[in-house]
Amino acid sequence: MKRYRHIFFDLDHTLWDFRANSRATLRELYADLALAGQGIGSAQELIESYEEVNAGLWRSYEAGRIPKEVLRVLRFRDTLGRFGVRGGRLAERMATAYLDRCPRKPALHGGVRALLEDLATDHRLHIITNGFKEVQRVKLACSGIERHFDVVLTSEEAAAAKPDPRIFRRALELAGAQAQESLMVGDDARNDTGGARAAGLDQAHFVEEAGTVPDPEATYRFTHYGELHRLLRG
């Protein structure tokens, strides 16, 4: 494997286990806000509806069609609406509680912590994320991995969202890195590996979820972090 000096990581779904942390938060909200009394049959039903609604709204946010303030409340209002709940105030309470609790959840994908501890000894590590600046910083701090990263660049700060090559070029500039000495690691074939490829970086596609189609053009593909660890140290 090629020797890299700089390794750029996506955060959500790549290092930080977004699904596990989000679902844990939604289960808490289901109980704490007594959503069974609102006609939502189970926490699992809430989770399934929320994830579908949230995915669609994130696509709109990344395309620049809605601002983050709208996304934060609309995803809960629309989720509740699927159960016939028309409570704008309840949606706002859920949005506030979710944003306070979820980023503080510490779950990482298996093998991430060991990989970062090892690579930080002789690589420069960075984050490129489409997430919100204030939220992503909390995730890094509460999961205990913040200290490993030199540059943490969000789409808000770069004024461009992945897969736009501009966010990758800005990250390279901030890191003092050259594309040919850099690797991008991410789970999204469009935003992470596709965007990095357009900016001239090699890419490693994390294919952890069942049913995810590996990026056939990615420089590397891996299904668990022990595999990536061996590749980078091979």
Dist CA 231 CA 119 (whole Å): 12
User: H or E segment at 124?
Assistant: strand 124-129
pLDDT digits (tens, 9 = 90+) for 69-114: 889 889 999 999 999 998 789 999 999 999 999 999 999 999 999 9
pLDDT digits (tens, 9 = 90+) for 121-177: 999 999 999 988 889 999 999 999 999 999 999 999 999 999 999 999 999 999 999
Out of 104, 137, 172, pick the residue that ends a domain.
Answer: 104
Q: Please give the pLDDT value at position 211.
A: 74
> 150, 123 in Cβ contact below 8 A?
no
Name the 3-class secondary structure at 6. Answer: strand
Quick check: 210 pLDDT over 80?
no
**C-alpha Rg value of the chain to the nearest Å:** 18
Q: Please give the pLDDT value at position 86.
A: 86
Q: Are residues 80 and 181 in the same domain?
A: no
- Angle in degrees, 0-180, between the axes of helices 88-101 and 18-32, rounded to the nearest 10: 130
The mean pLDDT of the chain is 95
Backbone angles phi, psi at 114, to 5 degrees: -65, -40
Q: Are residues 138 and 173 in the same domain?
A: yes
pLDDT digits (tens, 9 = 90+) for 48-72: 999 999 999 988 988 889 998 889 8
Residue 73's domain is classified under what CATH number? 1.10.150.240
Residues spanned by the domain of 44: 19-104
Give the pLDDT mean for 200-227. Answer: 93
> pLDDT-based confidence at 186, cuts 50/70/90?
very high
Name the 3-class secondary structure at 185. Answer: strand
Closest CA to 88 of 98, 99, 74, 102: 74
Q: Please give the pLDDT value at position 89.
A: 93
Q: Are residues 96 and 113 in the same domain?
A: no
Which residue, chain included where needed, has tokens 């000894």?
A: 121
